Amino acid sequence: MTAPCSRLLLLALLIILTSATGALLADEPVAAPDPFQLPKLPPADFSRNVDWYPARARVAGLEGRVLVAFDITSAGSAQRISVLWAEDAPLASSAEQMLSKAHFKVPTDWQTSGAWRRWRLGFIYCLPPSSQSEEFGVPVETVLISGSRLPGAPQRHPPDPNSASRCMKQPR
């Protein structure tokens, strides 16, 4: 190889390496995508005229979490609803019923936009004041369902003044 040819080859290699590492040399660091970050769930309308806290659970003082998976149709309804995990059966049944009656506001290109996927939603049932956990162990959007504690109902999660739980606030 001649000297001018090897210089051109070296220059081309240098240009390729510089362009490939340009993001690394930029002034602002490039954030790595979070592999656990889920797309934002579309807004939903849940019927507010229904008491979604099961009466049997309220009488027993039941509080807990329910993790549900489902699909959203192009019409905005939930289908193929399945309970992945629940702390109590009456709460799981209520979460399924609530989700089946929900309407999601989806864009017109819903099926072609890549948003057609399996969704997860966490339901948190609590009777304030309570220190009911809001954690699910996986990234998930949550719905808080609270009710009034009935006189004499047992308290499973006594109030903790240091708790940051939304369940510590009394319902209005």
| Domain regions of the chain by residue span | 1-31, 44-168
Q: How confident is the model at residue 15 (pLDDT cuts 50, 70, 90)?
A: low
Give the model confidence (pLDDT) of 89-134 as tens digits. 999 999 999 999 999 998 888 777 766 678 999 999 998 888 888 8
Those residues whose C-beta lies under 8 Å from the C-beta of residue 150, and which sit 6 or more positions away, are: 58, 59, 61
What's this model's pTM, rounded to 2 decimal places? 0.71
Q: What dotted CATH number matches 44-168?
A: 3.30.2420.10
Give the model confidence (pLDDT) of 41-78 as tens digits. 888 887 777 888 998 898 888 999 999 999 998 889 99
Flag the least confident range among 28-37, 78-87, 122-131.
Answer: 28-37
Give the model confidence (pLDDT) of 135-169 as tens digits. 998 889 999 998 887 887 777 777 777 777 777 77
Do the beta carbons of residue 125 and residue 171 sit within 8 Å?
A: no
